[in-house]
A and B are shown apart, each in its own frame.
Chain A
């Protein structure tokens, strides 16, 4: 996989999220991603960035345009230094939430992207990486 462009955006408050979503849209449009796939990617990003703010106390997002076998895609990496997730299997279950939400954030975001990777160390923080390919189903 080749990284064609890379930038970082810190997320410390809710208003940062709007800028972040707009920037993803620009990148997705740049590689010619369809509107439906763009919407799925941004919705997934919205869920993950909310988790980062709510449970991780904010963090840094990395936005990349990547390419694999000449298929372009957008890769997003969310890193926080929060308390981490103690039981990832449980956190990935539909309907499970430690807050008062619907518990769709993590499993829902996973369904909306092509690749999803979650790494978390209790006490160290959480890193979530997602990729949506231009023509990925």
Chain B
């Protein structure tokens, strides 16, 4: 069995698997873009942006793209803001790992090479693995193919110092038991919303919203190039159209892929969708099928159903604990037969708006803040539901903060989100962090008429806990529930980042 291992625990910065990865990447990078087994062809399968690719030197102005048939079949397939996010990326990784392994073998390397994963949550491992951060090979010679110049990290004052700030990411998604959720403002589910026919791709699922999006932006960062653009330009990892060009992309996604299986192992309720529209993929909606080339160039078509069968995918991970500490709940995975104990589907659960601030909130510099007025009747409803224990089979009351129609041109931006409940008499109360949002994909979602509607992205953050703390208090000023966004790195004015609407929404029976 092929085992994907922790990149920080391979036994040295330049342990064999990393060295062979570097050699293979070095062999694939010079191949023509149009070659199905080239480095850049694989990046283009995730996304492509002519301006950025040419500006960063990943494509010469005169260089030919893949022929139209190949372009249409393979390129720009990445699934975001959809319940296909996890299965599409799993197949993409499998195809990529096969290509690297075949290349390693052709360079006389080991036939059991596997893609390492980067578990930034494990203690002491949130830094970029050193082999990726050095422009040199271990012998001190330059030209290390794992090194990427356009990987600036979370702090613009220290470009190139790459790490994942742990206060900006969390594993809250692992506690969600439904794979798919609602599009109307409640929980989107671990894997994302059933995008059906109205495929918008603007509502990222829980594991995609956190930590996937943040890690992209925090690692890639952004930089000003005043001569090229008034707006900041994203690091390769920060935008979907360039992310696949960075060798660290694959280690990040291996971790997300690992978390999918961790989630399934951690609780018997955590199961993949049974709907045939998920299992058979977007082809069942008349949309593009999932397809990647094999090392010999022939196309391999795969479905979410195949990706969901973990025993059949041909690899496993050395460790399934999300943060590197043992899984507590593994035992319960076998306690109940799967299927028999499926949860009551949340189909009957109502999603209702509790309060709205509809003034667009511009986000620049260190952040922005506003307040959301809450409807007294709706608040009373939430408070009373929270005060009583839910009847058996009923859904517990949950409250979400929705950041809707978030638009702008800074994919690297990560915003810490805080809520705070003030007293009527002006007594301030403690502010609570309720998570963070990463604007990965925001530029594409903002542009109109380029295959998107231009309405921006929207986010739903669970604020049940802080809301519950104050729900019963008669002193809370319902007209002023504070929401504060704090940028991890300063947001450029020219990036025009704004939140179109902020709402508080309840979900329950």
Chains A and B belong together in one complex = no
